[in-house]
Structure 1
Amino acid sequence: MNSMSYKVQRKLVLTAFLLIPLALLCLFTYYPAARLVYLSFTDWDGISAGKTWLGLGNYIEVFTNPELFGVFIHQIPYVLIGIIQNMAAIVFAVILNSKLRGRNFFRVMLFLPFIMNAVAVAFMFQYVFDTTNGSLNGLLGLIGLDSLQQSWLGTNTLVNYSLASIGFWRFMGYNMVIYLGALQSIPADMYEAAKIDGAGRFQTFWSLTIPNLTKIISLNMFLTLSGALAVFDLPFVLTKGGPAGASETFLFKTIETAFQFNNYGLASAMSVVLLLFTAVILGIQNTVINRKGD
């Protein structure tokens, strides 16, 4: 090593620093992904050594079986409430970016749900939505709104909105912190210039704040939409997919197909479809954002 020139040693070190992460990336990311795609074209139970080649059979099953592809409709409430969540996060970020007394306390309180364990949050809301002794129905009864008391997790039309509201409570503070960081990067001179020009608060918010948050909104919306497509923990812990399969999600169905029915080939195809949907959403979102930027 001592006989090598500094230039050669530098190249060796740089090559090593590049090759080791690339090797780990290929081993733990690209190879499993390629293996997943291969398994999606086979019929495999996860145990047998042999795998039967099916071609596009699994993908045809995914798109033609309403029990598999049809569960995407259960995730619409997660998308809708996720959009509302981002809107609320922007509003809270703008409020807490001002000179509000105790703003640091409110920032911590709103961010606190995000650092809580997802399963613990699910069990906590099990007591909130409990039909008989739940705090939500208890509160409605206390203020005289007994007619609004519901079986929140036992009604087909309400269960997904109830579960999605838990995500709203948990992730709104996280999104708010991201928007807050973006707001603090906007130069104060821009707001002062807008004030001198006679712009009101709403006009400043709409014409100055929102355009400067476009990239961050794009990032958060992608995370929100991809998260809405990959919901699993809440329905698994709280409803087990019930009532009568009304809260089953595509990822829930994928895991059930693999580990309960031992159909790893079909589950792999479902995973690939979910990955492609996420990529399509990202592409559409980037196209829309870039057109608005032009």
Structure 2
Amino acid sequence: MNKSNKWVRLFLAVPILLLTIFGILPIINLIVISFTSWNGMGSEFNWVGWDNYTTLFKSPVYWNALRVNLYYLVSGIIQMVIAYYFAVILSEKTRGKNFFKSLFLLPSLISSMAVAMIFRLFLSPKGAFDQLLIFLHLDKWITFWLGNPDQVNITLASISLWRNLGISFILYYGAIQSIPRDYNDVCLIDGASLWQKTKWITIPQTMKVIYLNCILLIIGVISVFDIPFILTNGSNGSTTIVVQTMKLAFEQKKYGIASSLSVCITLIIVLLSGFLNYVKNKGGQKK
């Protein structure tokens, strides 16, 4: 072994050690706890086998929490479409381009707590949003935006869309800007419309970023926590799967079931990401 190989292994040893201590070992510990009834206190771990997982699959509470996440899935898909649309538009010669780019990116830079406080005031009864609807003679649509069980998840998902739109936009915009200028020159010479250019040049050239954004969407949808927790604390039917996990662990002291739910969340993310990767590779083979 030469000296350079020793230095390489030494530098690799540090991140591998950190990954093992702070990444792999906690996951193993989480899996072990998921088979126990540990309450988070003391050192007694009563082995219950698959009982925690059986409880999760039989109880409608956890299925309802997972159903709430579907609202964020729909808003996430809409967010991706809107972000891509404006990324394409602002990649062309557009007046006020820098202003609109800043406008899209700004919500992503605001902390979750600040966003929650803004919308708590904005959507409060007789608040600014209600006054706006009254001014537009749409007062018949006024409801308790954060308290109505039929409306609250749509409201929270819309807030999530607004806040995360800038992340998708900047990913798409950067990908479009990296497309070689030769393609644009060819489209200009052939007289292609913006839609034809987008269909045959922009979308195929940005598929990798679209795929990346889909992976981020899956992770984001399953792990929604801050907006519903801060604004409603999961009340009125707005409890997402991660909020439910937190309540199980820190409020009900059911660390065993909370750990098993965390394992299920991880498996859902891995399986959906794997399926998306399979579809991507299958599409690549057909081409």
Q: Tell me whether 1:275 sits opposite 2:266 in the alignment.
A: yes
Cα distance in 1 for partners of 2:6, 2:186 equals: 53
What's 1:259 paired with? 250
What's 1:171 paired with? 164
Cα distance in 1 for partners of 2:41, 2:5 equals: 46
Give the TM-score of the pair, scaled to structure 2: 0.95
Q: Which moved more, 1:65-74 or 1:80-89?
A: 65-74
Q: Tell me whether 1:204 sits opposite 2:201 in the alignment.
A: no
Q: Equivalent residues in 2 for 1:15-94 (5 A)?
A: 15-94=9-88
Aligned AA (1:231)? V
Cα distance in 2 for partners of 1:8, 1:283 equals: 39
Instruction: List structure 1 runs of 4+ shifted beyond 4 angstroms.
Output: none
Instruction: Please report how far the alpha carbon of residue 195 of structure 1 lies from its aligned counterpart in structure 2 after TM superposition.
Output: 3.5
The Cα offsets for residues 152-204 of structure 1, whole Å up to 9 and x where unpaired, read as 11111211110011111111111111101100111121122234334322122
Q: Tell me whether 1:14 sits opposite 2:31 in the alignment.
A: no
Aligned residues: percent identity? 37
Give the TM-score of the pair, scaled to structure 1: 0.93
Aligned-residue CA RMSD (Å): 1.3
Structure 2 gap ranges (5+):
none
Aligned AA (1:184)? Q
The Cα offsets for residues 120-179 of structure 1, whole Å up to 9 and x where unpaired, read as 1011111111122x2111101011111111111111121111001111111111111110
For these two proteins, the number of residue pairs brought into alignment is 285
Structure 1 gap ranges (5+):
1-6
What's 1:156 paired with? 149
The Cα offsets for residues 10-61 of structure 1, whole Å up to 9 and x where unpaired, read as 2332221011111011000000011001111111011121111111111111
What's 1:184 paired with? 177
Aligned AA (2:216)? L
Aligned AA (2:103)? M
Cα distance in 1 for partners of 2:28, 2:166 equals: 36
Q: Equivalent residues in 2 for 1:109-128 (5 A)?
A: 109-128=103-122
Q: Is the 8 A contact 2:218 2:273 kept in 1?
A: no
| Counterpart among 120, 130, 133 of residue 137 in structure 1 | 130
